[in-house]
């Protein structure tokens, strides 16, 4: 495998990443997932495996490329002999709660039809899988044993 090809490892290993169409017309869907990071992808996968119709809306931070270029220039200043070739840039918001647990579920200001998955600190890879299963249960109108633990309601305790 040519790890210096300029493509991310997974694209080299599994083939080029898919491209996704732009949203150019109205769509109807049972569930709309906003954000196509690991959380959005896992939630969409979990729901669609269980027969739900899901649309994922992803809008990358318009300033990611500009910020990545700025970082690359700073590294070049520090290490002028380094040949920097940006292949992919990504930005993440790091939000953390006082008790260190994320939030999964509805917020009273937005009603039961809007579900949140957020505030992982540095542990979103682990938590997002729990969240995907938990949110599916809530969307399907069932209880989940961890729902109270990750609920916004715990702030009131």
In 3D space, the residue among 110, 156, 149 whose CA is nearest the CA of residue 131 turns out to be: 149
Binding residue for ligand FAD (CB under 6 A) from 16, 23, 75, 125? 125
Residue with Cβ nearer ligand FAD (125 or 155): 125
Residue with Cβ nearer ligand FAD (16 or 125): 125
Q: What is the DSSP letter of 37?
A: S
Which range touches ligand FAD (CB under 6 A), out of 4-12, 22-30, 106-114, 117-125?
A: 117-125
Binding status of residue 129 toward ligand FAD by CB under 6 A? no
- Report the site for ligand FAD in 50-79 (rule: CB under 6 A): 57-61
CB of 117 to ligand FAD, least distance (A): 6
d(CA 99, CA 125): 18
Binding status of residue 92 toward ligand FAD by CB under 6 A? yes
Binding status of residue 38 toward ligand FAD by CB under 6 A? yes
The token pair at 74 is 């700073």
Computed on alpha carbons and rounded to an integer, the radius of gyration of the chain in Å comes to: 19
Q: Which residues, in sequence order, are CB contacts of 57 under 8 Å at separation 6+? A: 23, 32, 33, 34, 35, 36
Q: What is the DSSP letter of 6?
A: S
Q: What is the DSSP letter of 94?
A: -
Binding residue for ligand FAD (CB under 6 A) from 39, 104, 139, 144? 39
Residues that bind ligand FAD (CB under 6 A): 34-40, 57-61, 92-93, 120, 122-126, 128
């Amino acid at each position: 495998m040519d790890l210096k090809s300029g493509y991310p490892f997974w694209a080299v290993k599994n083939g080029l990443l898919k491209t996704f169409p732009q949203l150019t017309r109205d769509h109807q869907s049972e569930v709309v997932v906003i954000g196509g990071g690991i959380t959005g992808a896992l939630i969409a996968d979990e729901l669609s495996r269980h027969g739900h119709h899901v649309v994922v809306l992803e809008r990358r931070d318009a300033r990611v490329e500009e910020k990545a270029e700025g970082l690359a220039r700073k590294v070049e200043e520090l290490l002028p002999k380094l040949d920097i070739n940006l292949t992919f840039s990504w930005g993440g918001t790091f939000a953390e709660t006082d008790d260190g647990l994320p939030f999964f579920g509805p917020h009273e200001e937005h009603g039961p039809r809007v579900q949140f998955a957020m505030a992982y600190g540095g542990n979103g890879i682990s938590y997002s899988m729990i969240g995907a299963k938990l949110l599916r249960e809530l969307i399907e109108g069932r209880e989940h044993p961890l729902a109270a633990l990750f609920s916004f309601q715990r702030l009131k305790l």
